[in-house]
Chain A
Amino acid sequence: MKYTFDWSVLWSGQAGLWLLQGLLTTLAISAVAWLIALALGIVAGALRTARFAPLRIIATAYVEFFRNVPLLVWMFFFYFAVPTLLPQPVQEWLYDHGAEFSAGTAALGVYHGARFSEMIRAGIQSIPKTQLEAALSTGLSAAQAYRLVILPIALRLIVPPLTNETLNLLKNSSVALTIGVAELTFQTRQIETYTAKAIEALTAGTLIYLILCLAIARAMAHVERRFAIPGMVGSAAEK
């Protein structure tokens, strides 16, 4: 193996700046997609436990459709196919305002929303039925009972699997490089292209991902302790 290492490529030239920009883009796309996924996940997860069948069917269709197709296909679909269905002015506006980023965020958000909803459904189903009955008997409507009683408990129960899935979302944001989002993996490749120092560039990118994952796991462990419900911890362990 004839390979001469030159780690200085990482701090000379623009490499450092590129890595920082990549890191910020990864964080931005992950954060926005996480919010979309959590919102979709809560709505779909709650609807999957609804008593009214049509709502349940719509939510199930969303979940089963989106989580059984590769994320990459959703990226291509949202980037190449969806804009062709939109009216001309919207299309032009999108292409002027970073269509890659919005398509990537949308794909990541709806894909992980389907996965989040499965955890939230499991969380809701792990709450004893009597909680809902008690909430309804105090005069709350079904929507109020979910919003004020069931969901707050469910969300606190699912913090551990939610951590796992959040890390998956962060790692999956790298798939957005395929549609040209300049996130961390994209910038790592760019350094390699400019310097021909593949190992150095990949090491830098890999270390940043590992540190990010460790930091998020740490932060979520804190959240888990803070919001744990005494006596109910770990009862929502599904995936």
Chain B
Amino acid sequence: MDFGVIERNWSFLLGQGFIGLGAFAGGTLRLAVPALALGFVLGLFIGIARLARSRWVRIPATLYVEFFRGVPLVMVIFWFWFILPQALGVALPEYGIALTAFVVFEAAYFGEIVRAGVQSVPRGEVEAALSSGLGQAQTMRHVVLPQALRNMIPALVTQFIVLFKDTSLASIIGYVDLTKAAQIVNNREIRPFELYLFIAVIYWLCAYGMSRYAGYLERQLATA
């Protein structure tokens, strides 16, 4: 056991790998945070589209969700790795590929959360809003979504934990996140036990912290 390896590579592992400051366009947080924001926005549209009255909107959204929930994330990452440069005709950095893959993939899961959230708003709220003279879109924006979002918060935090852990898979296309940083250091120092235990602890602290926070939010919402 030689935990000095962590100390020697501290700034590379945490600065470069975890946060994303350094020579590589990498970082677990730099991928996870925009993927969360963009994935949620896309998921919002997909979740609402799944509840649309027109089947031309509803069926494509349903197919989207069912497709991405039936395929492993690793497969989706490889798809984008091959397709995006082909389709755009330019070489893309790993960051762009990983971010696109995560946004598209996670949007399917966020969409399901949004749908459940919207469905949790009592039907009477919609009827009351419509009868007060609001339009369909206004009802959605001013009455349904504010309530639905509140109900969604615990599920959203849980899904963010999943996304946060999933970002480790971006390392398979060479994106330098925390996992890849540990691999790089390990190739040089051959200290697998210390390094993988160290990153496990880092991931654990973040994920466990967030899950405690999700539990706290759930209790807050239950009493409110």
Taking beta carbons and an 8 Å cutoff, which residues of A are in contact with B?
1, 3, 64-65, 68-74, 76-77, 80-81, 84-85, 167, 171-175, 177-178, 185, 188-189, 192, 198-199, 202, 205-206, 209-210, 213-214
Contacts and interface: CB of A to CB of B under 8 A. Distances in A.
A85 B193 contact: yes
B58 interface: no
Contacts of B146: none
Contacts of A3: 86
A209 B168 CA distance: 21
Given A73-B203, A76-B196, A210 B179 contact: no
B199 interface: yes
A103 to B, nearest CB: 12
Contact of A174 (B75, B82, B166): B75
A189 B199 CA distance: 28
Given A76-B179, A81-B196, A188 B203 contact: no
Interface stretch (B64-72, B95-103, B124-132): B64-72
A167 B199 CA distance: 27
B193 A1 contact: no
Contacts of A69: 165, 200, 203-204, 207
A214 to B, nearest CB: 7
Query: Taking chain B's interface residues, is the majority helix, strand, or loop, or is none over half, making it mixed?
Result: helix
A209 to B, nearest CB: 5
Contact of A70 (B75, B82, B168, B192): B168
A238 B53 CA distance: 29
Pairs A-B, 8 closest by C-beta atoms: A80-B192, A68-B207, A198-B82, A174-B72, A70-B168, A171-B72, A81-B193, A70-B165
A214 B78 contact: no
Contact of A68 (B73, B78, B211): B211
Interface in B157-178: 161, 165-169, 171-172
Contact of B78 (A76, A84, A185, A210): A185
B50 to A, nearest CB: 18
B208 interface: yes
B168 A206 contact: no
A237 B203 CA distance: 28
B197 interface: yes
A72 B72 contact: no
B76 to A, nearest CB: 9
Contacts of B82: 192, 198-199, 202
A51 B161 CA distance: 30
Interface string B203-219: 11001100100000000
B4 interface: no
Contacts of A192: 82
Interface residues of B, number: 37
Nearest to A64: B208
A208 B161 CA distance: 28
A188 B79 CA distance: 11
B74 interface: yes
A192 B79 CA distance: 11
B130 to A, nearest CB: 31
Interface string B77-99: 01100110011010000000000
Contacts of B168: 70, 72-73
B186 interface: yes
A1 B166 contact: no
A206 B71 contact: yes
Given A1-B87, A81-B193, A73 B75 contact: no
A210 B70 contact: yes
A70 B71 contact: no
Contacts of A74: 200
Contacts of A76: 179, 182-183, 192, 196
A185 B207 contact: no
B169 A188 contact: no
A7 to B, nearest CB: 16
Given A76-B183, A80-B186, 17 more contacts: A1-B89, A3-B86, A70-B167, A77-B200, A80-B196, A81-B196, A85-B193, A171-B70, A172-B72, A174-B72, A175-B169, A177-B172, A192-B82, A202-B82, A206-B71, A206-B79, A213-B70
Interface in B109-139: none
Contacts of A72: 168-169, 171, 179
